[in-house]
Amino acid sequence: MSPVFKLLAQRIALSLLLLLLISVVIFAGTMVLPGDVAQSILGQSATPEALANLRAELGVNDPPVQRYFAWLFGAIQGDLGTALTSGQDISEALASRFWNTLFLAFWAAVVAVPLAIFLGLLAVRFKDRWPDKLISGVTLASISIPEFLIGYVLMYLIAVKLRWFPSVAMINDSMSLFEKLNAIALPIAVLTLVVLAHMMRMTRAAILNVMQSAYIETAELKGLNAFQVIYRHAFPNAVAPIVNVVMLNLAYLVVGVVVIEVVFVYPGMGQYLVDHVSKRDVPVVQACGLIFAAVYIGLNMIADIVAILSNPRLRHPK
């Protein structure tokens, strides 16, 4: 077995094992939540007989291990259960909301990733000079402010005062792409500011680390200007760590949009999750938690695979 194939198999196996362990944590965490699901559904005026019958119908009295494996096997087959409060199939309810979350994360990444890489290259080009210090200072300031505060400030300034974009990011299937992008402009701006600093600083650090290599000095001795040295020689050899940090931030864009969706009333998975947490709708919380975990682990696995495939020492062993 080649070293590359062996490492890829190990990464995939570890990712699947991690997802299995997280599913156990999610299930156990929701089981120890305080309160009574049957009571929250029927209300305080429910009779003991009605509560007992509903608990039996929901399977609350079954052994935890039996309930876990029933839930896990159902999730593997695409059956995430039924929402307790609405009776709606969770898979159907999450389908459109999941794509809405991916839509928001995708366009935030379209703006944030190229901008972060460009600012990282620019910071390296003017290392320790005022452009480098300005870029680092502004991005660090943006990441130090809570995202909900950035959201409310932008909402007040841009949506209320200037009225450039709507304050509520509501989208539906009847809207055109331009209308959807106009509606989610403010959430995209907030998410970009949140992830920009991490990606920019990692890009800068990775390229500066490569700049210490001997072949960079050779390229400089050939008479190449600073930009050519950075873009043609340093950047391609710093791809692996940059891809890793980009994937981590893409995972955050999908998983960490809960606060942004709530602030801007965006119809995504985060908003759906928060609505049902308040109702103690355990199956919905479990389904959303498992999907978020799968997306996060999947993107990290892709980052590991890209890092392995981009390593010339593994692709061309001696």
**Distance (Å, whole) CA 283 – CA 278:** 13
Residue 315 above 60 pLDDT?
no
Residue 208 lies in a domain: yes
Determine the distance from the C-alpha atom of residue 176 to the mean position of all C-alpha atoms in its chain, rounded to a whole number: 25
User: How do residues 83-107 score in pLDDT, each as one tens digit?
Assistant: 776 667 777 878 878 888 888 888 8
What separation in angstroms does the CA of 114 have from each of 120, 242, 265?
Answer: 10, 12, 27
Amino acid at the residue 301: M
Q: According to the model, what pLDDT value does residue 289 have?
A: 83
Predicted confidence band at 304 (pLDDT cuts at 50, 70, 90)? Answer: confident
Predicted confidence band at 36 (pLDDT cuts at 50, 70, 90)? Answer: low
User: How do residues 209-222 score in pLDDT, each as one tens digit?
Assistant: 766 666 666 665 66
Averaged confidence pLDDT in the chain: 75
Q: Write down the residue that tokens 């991490």 correspond to.
A: 198
Closest CA to 108 of 2, 205, 188: 188
**Distance (Å, whole) CA 251 – CA 34:** 30
Q: Around Cβ 131, how many Cβ atoms within 10 Å?
A: 13
Residue 112 lies in a domain: yes
Residue 12 lies in a domain: no
Residue 178 lies in a domain: yes
Residue 260 lies in a domain: yes
Closest CA to 29 of 285, 233, 276: 285
Residue range 114-119: mean pLDDT, rounded: 82
Q: According to the model, what pLDDT value does residue 46 have?
A: 65
Residue 167 lies in a domain: yes
CATH of the domain at 147: 1.10.3720.10
Q: pTM here?
A: 0.74
Q: Which residues pair with 98 in a beta bridge?
A: none
Residue 233 above 60 pLDDT?
no
Residue 294 lies in a domain: no
Q: According to the model, what pLDDT value does residue 155 have?
A: 82
Domain count, the chain: 1
Q: Range of 123's domain?
A: 91-268
